[in-house]
Amino acid sequence: METQRFKDQVVVVTGASRGIGRGIARQFAKEGAKVVLASRDPEALERCAAEIEGEVVAIPTDVSDPKSVAVLIQKTEDQFGRIDVLCHNAGIYPHKRLENMTLDEWQHVIGANLTGTFLVVKACIPIMKAQGKGNIVITSSISGPRTGLPGFSHYTASKGGVAGFVRTAAIELAKYRININAVEPGNVMTEGLDALGEEHIQNMVRAVPLGRLGTPADIANLTLFLASPEASYITGQGIVIDGGQTLLESHLLEH
């Protein structure tokens, strides 16, 4: 049942053109929010905006570029005058083994995932501070804060950094009544997994005690809870949502 918990609230969702970000944006719109979609891919962003019912604005944005982030926040403020919720979901995860990784490849991922988090959160602070409240939810990962992932040392370093950033930011922002938390998903079924093939997907499923991959809707449900009044006493936390994936001592399960 749709509750309209976010009726007329202004919600910015980065990385909104596909996967988890699109699921988050769609759910906020269903619950009455005015949703600002941000992504580096203008065409995918427009397709996403056309699919979502409600008041939706699409603003192409590169979260690793301070000028692009400034445009996103300024356009949002110009149109709506406020930002109630920031859902920072944008991120990249290219595969590369550490021994073969170049400095440019390392810095590209850190710039998008960790520096991008800093830039977008920092840009929202003046608006949220002026309005006397705000809510920030970062899409992180179990990889880095909870587990290692071979071939993704740059990605896990960035998400481990996000965990530390969220804890410290929560302390600094609490006096402005701004809450900030991270959602840490395990394996989620998005468009990017299709290319891996059914066998690989089933291997991923076997690593999850609940016997299925997560969905964008699963992540959206937790994100909306953390952005809601019901979670007003939660800040600085990383909340795992992984079907029990991080509970295992071994990926071999008895079924």
In the chain, the number of structural domains is 1
Q: Do the Cβ atoms of 229 and 130 come closer than 8 Å?
A: no
Give the confidence band of 190 by pLDDT, cuts at 50, 70, 90.
confident
- Residue 66 and residue 61: Cα distance in Å, rounded? 10
Nearest to 114 by CA among 70, 159, 67, 167: 159
DSSP for residue 231? G
Element (H, E) at 185: strand 178-185
**Closest by alpha carbon to 106, among 153, 142, 150?**
153
Is 176 a known active-site residue?
A: no
Which of 138, 136, 137, 140 lies closest to 177 in space, CA to CA? 136
The string of pLDDT tens digits covering residues 64-122 is 999 999 999 999 999 999 999 999 999 999 999 999 999 999 999 999 999 999 999 99
Q: Which residues touch 54 (CB under 8 Å, ≥6 apart)?
A: 29, 30, 32, 33, 34, 35
| Single-letter amino acid code for the residue at 32 | G
* pLDDT computed for residue 253 by the predictor: 53
Q: Is 245 part of a structural domain of the chain? A: no
Q: What is the CATH number of the domain that holds 14?
A: 3.40.50.720
Buried b / exposed e along 70-82 (16+ C-beta atoms within 10 A): ebbbeebbeebeb
172 assigned to some structural domain? yes
Q: How far is CA 26 from CA 29, 61, 130, 155, 217, in A?
A: 5, 19, 28, 26, 9
| Tens of pLDDT, residues 107-164 | 999 999 999 999 999 999 999 999 999 999 999 999 999 999 999 999 999 999 999 9
pTM of the model: 0.95
Residue at 1 is within a domain: no
Q: What pLDDT digit, counting tens, does each position of 192-236 carry?
A: 677 677 888 898 899 899 999 999 999 999 999 999 999 999 999
84 is written with which tokens? Answer: 């109630």
Which residue in 93, 155, 176, 233 is the catalytic one? Answer: 155
Nearest to 126 by CA among 87, 167, 74, 52: 74
For the segment 18-41, the average pLDDT, to the nearest whole number, is 97
User: What is the residue range of 229's domain?
Assistant: 10-240
User: Does residue 54 form part of some domain?
Assistant: yes
